[in-house]
Chain A
Amino acid sequence: MTKRQMYMKMLLSSLLRRRSRMTVALLAIAIGATVLLGMTTICYDIPRQMGREFRSYGANMVFVAAGGETMLSLSDVDRAAALLPRESLVGVTPYRYKTVRSNMQPYTLVGTRFEQVRKTSPWWKVSGAWPTTGTEILIGSDVAEFARLSPGRTIAISGTNAKGARFSREMTILGVVRTGGVEDDFLFMDLTALEELAGDAGRVELAEVSVAMNAAGLSALSALIQREVPTIAPRLVKRVTQSETSVLSRLQALVYLVTLVVLVLTMICVATTMMTVVMERRKEIGLKKALGAENRSIVAEFLGEGVCLGLGGGLLGVAFGWLFAQTISVNVFGRAISFNIYLVPATLAASIIVTGAACLIPIRSATEVEPALVLRGE
């Protein structure tokens, strides 16, 4: 048997035959590693997750026509939308405005795509149902109140089309929309149906875009779109982007700081537990010194144990930490966490270092003690 084999044997014996103490140590390290991995994963993922939540504020970019034009072409909108990263694109909603009359009253009729509206403007409150066909219409709550209309009734609208000819159509009111904003004054119908009435297709006044991205990313995208699709002028909705940046940075700072406090306290806890476990073995250290062990070999033995415990606890911690982060992500945001694989070696390294360091402190003081004092003095 070589010395190396003996070293391994002593190490394994110490780990396996002192089960209750080692469990205590392993548990402490595993908890530390769990918190470390879980919290840093959340920290790392917070901007992405929270950024998604902030999309509830709606569009953060608006496409309008460049060069003084009032209308932009839908195919250009599609080309521009294709430039946006698929995974962060929430929705693109085109809006086409048309003035119509009903009962001699002028109204603004808006043609849009309802399935996109629900993505870019999630705050719309519709009592009744969303229209699905070309003869169904959604009316703003102020219009409903003003004209005493309600879902289920019909409304006759009329206007002039692109060629100057008059049109009129009987629409079924499917729902009343309330937003507290200008939408309360408008009528909404499907864009394709509106184009049919207006007699020209493929052109809209503006398109609202909601992208889960920070202000810097949006500016870069905006520049890209301006270059690739020069007919479109992308504008950032400052109110949304600026506020999001400021609130999100606060939230991030909050999570960072909380993580820091939790981490520091947990690491102290881990170190203290390790120190207690090692302190208990002063007698053993004394004996080994009496048997002629040099400080170096005692340190090597304890460090070996520390590294093994750190590795074992770290591995457990990685598994539980992932669960920790996943639980939070699924419960709070309803989405899986994006897991940064580099955090695994980082967590393992951190738990090994903390454990090793925590072992070394009491060993240093223990090896300074004369063996005789430890062996006889109780």
Chain B
Amino acid sequence: MEKTTENILEIRDVSMIYGQVKALQNIDLTVRKGEWLAIMGPSGSGKTTMMNIIGCMDKPSSGSVILDGREISGMSSRALTEMRRDRIGLIFQQFHLISYLTALENVMVAQYYHSMIDEAEALQALERVGLKDRAKHLPHQLSGGEQQRVCIARALINYPRLILADEPTGNLDEANERIVLDLLRRLHAEGSTIIVVTHSPEVAEYAEKTIVLEHGRIARTTRNAD
């Protein structure tokens, strides 16, 4: 298999049904290594469900999901946790930093659950997002943009195969949105695979490819001219 065509994620015929509600129906999707994909769609279209499945936080009702060459739909929750820890970096709309830990410690928590603690490396990650001087600050002492950058540093620290961002700019003003998106772009340029869930076309524009979900189906796929 050639490097450029290596698929990091393959979704085949995935459906997700909550009781009577069909959140996702027969989704097929492939994401190559190094690709930047945006998932769009109005509220209730299945974006969040999609993100949960890709992020190994939920298993589909039917279909197969192959992440980094491994089928996850039959995995135990323990194995899912392992997949999530080793291969995925999560960025949340609401940042979700641990309130009583400093920026640096929040990054180190991800190291802690993953493998080894390396303070120098964590500090380096903060430097990459431009927050080296804020390392000792607690979350409530940071602005929203800064918190999101800490969140990105935390997502990067374990060299994930896939960065999964859920409305990363949803709580940010324009200036901070730009900073965060530039960061993502730099990561992409460095070779990271990124999936962004958003409903903002501006954010989606940064991606190479956009899929639009409607009523749990992929309504269309567009390739953005770079």
Contacts and interface: CB of A to CB of B under 8 A. Distances in A.
A pairs with B: yes
Interface of A: 1-3, 5-7, 9-10, 13-14, 16-18, 283-284, 287-294, 297, 370-372, 375-376
A293 B105 contact: no
Interface of B: 48, 51-52, 55, 57-58, 78, 81-82, 84-86, 90, 92, 94, 96, 98-102, 105, 108-114, 116-119, 138, 154, 166
Contact of A290 (B84, B99, B102): B84
Given A6-B117, A284-B98, A292 B58 contact: no
Given A3-B116, A10-B105, A291 B100 contact: no
Given A6-B108, A283-B96, A291-B90, A13 B81 contact: no
Given A291-B109, A370-B57, A18 B100 contact: yes
Contact of B85 (A3, A17, A292): A292
A47 B86 CA distance: 64
B127 to A, nearest CB: 18
Contacts of B99: 17-18
Contacts of A5: 117
B47 to A, nearest CB: 10
Given A9-B105, A290-B90, A292-B84, A3 B112 contact: yes
Contacts of A3: 112, 116-117
Contacts of A16: 100
Contacts of B102: 13
Contacts of A288: 98, 109, 113
B177 to A, nearest CB: 20
B52 A372 contact: yes
- Please name the 6 residue pairs, one residue from A and one from B, whose CB atoms are nearest each other, closest first: A292-B85, A17-B100, A372-B57, A372-B52, A293-B113, A1-B117
12 contacts: A1-B118, A3-B116, A13-B101, A14-B100, A18-B100, A290-B55, A291-B109, A292-B86, A292-B113, A293-B113, A294-B78, A376-B166
Contact of B101 (A10, A294, A297): A10
B170 to A, nearest CB: 11
B58 A291 contact: no
A291 B113 contact: yes
Q: Which of B51, B101, B109, B110 has the most CB of A within 10 A?
A: B109
Chain A interface main SS type: helix
Contacts of A293: 81, 85, 113
A372 B114 CA distance: 19
Contacts of B166: 376
Given A292-B85, A372-B58, A17 B138 contact: yes
Nearest to A377: B48
Contacts of A290: 55, 57, 84, 90, 96
Given A1-B119, A10-B105, A375 B100 contact: no
B186 to A, nearest CB: 23
Contact of A291 (B48, B52, B94, B154): B154
A290 B138 CA distance: 21
A370 B119 CA distance: 30
Contacts of B96: 283, 287, 290, 375
Contacts of A6: 108-109, 111-112, 117
A96 B96 CA distance: 90
Given A287-B96, A288-B98, A372-B52, 12 more contacts: A1-B118, A6-B108, A6-B112, A17-B100, A18-B100, A289-B81, A290-B55, A292-B86, A293-B113, A297-B113, A372-B57, A372-B58
A293 B57 CA distance: 12
Q: Which of A9, A18, A290 has the most CB of B within 10 A?
A: A290
